[in-house]
Structure 1
Amino acid sequence: MLEASLQKTILNINGEKYTLKADERTTLLDALRNHLGLTGSKKGCDHGQCGACTVLLNGRRINSCLTLACMHDGDEVTTIEGLGGPGNLSPLQKAFVSHDAFQCGYCTPGQICSAKAMLEEARAGWPSYVSESLDELNSLSNEEISERMSGNICRCAAYPNIVRAIRETSGEAE
């Protein structure tokens, strides 16, 4: 039987440095949850299909179940814990609460991390599949938000409220 080797990785998570000594096959999600105690990111499908594990890596959203922790030595990782916490919620977190954009709450951390990055992508003018133009983004319509968030599944079907929360945070009224 082959013995797994431990890989030393420095992760910058939510503004703090963590030294991780783990099997080189450890996913970023498992490193966060099982090695570092950051349990906000959830393990849903473990195949990159549900988005419950979405975190920000150097400002871009990724499924943390699909990448190895050792691949991100020195990278900036932001989890839901880094966006805000009790008594200090981010604007997106406040909007999710005020619009009841969750039911069971399991997918909510991934939804919020994805929405944060999605709003930045839209501000940067990145088009989506349903964008009317490749040159400029005029507004974030419900269809535009739904398309951009399509990698995050909510089994409770809180989608209309999720879209409302994102629209509020983007500054666009319905």
Structure 2
Amino acid sequence: MDNINLNEKWILKITTDCTKYPENVHGKGILMYGYISLSKNINEMRTNFKGKKRNSEEAHMQSEFFKLISVFFPHLPDKLVFAVPNGGSRKNAIEGANFKRQGVKAGVSDIIVLIPKKGFASLCIEFKTRVGKQSEEQKEFQKQAESCRNKYVVVRSASQAIEELRKYLS
């Protein structure tokens, strides 16, 4: 998600998460698979349908991480480093049940690096804010991932994630 100040009066919000806003997917607006909205209130832009604040700081760190990968790791197979879209809000119980049937699992790490190194099958990266803590589901995912020879790290910045990836790949 990108927020862009327009004349310092309006805030433009762009997202490609069409699962949250399916009514805007059918070519209505600039993005075919997303939505664009304008608001004068930044807090309105940060609030999902249930009234909970989104963790935009973690999302920002994750976006920065993906921007830095091509700079620091230009030859890394890009399809093998990916985000897991398990977070976010659900519009209703039906949508949540559909995601569950499709295999969406709570607690899965934010990023998976599907490259075996140093006896590990993969690297799982979980982004947290400076004061953020893992949920019980995330702790259970970490336990299961590590028991199957996957490396799991919690990072608090994009640069820390890049450093963990560098250590893992070296």
The alignment's TM-score, normalised by the length of structure 2, stands at 0.28
Higher relative contact order (CA 8 A, sep 6+): 1
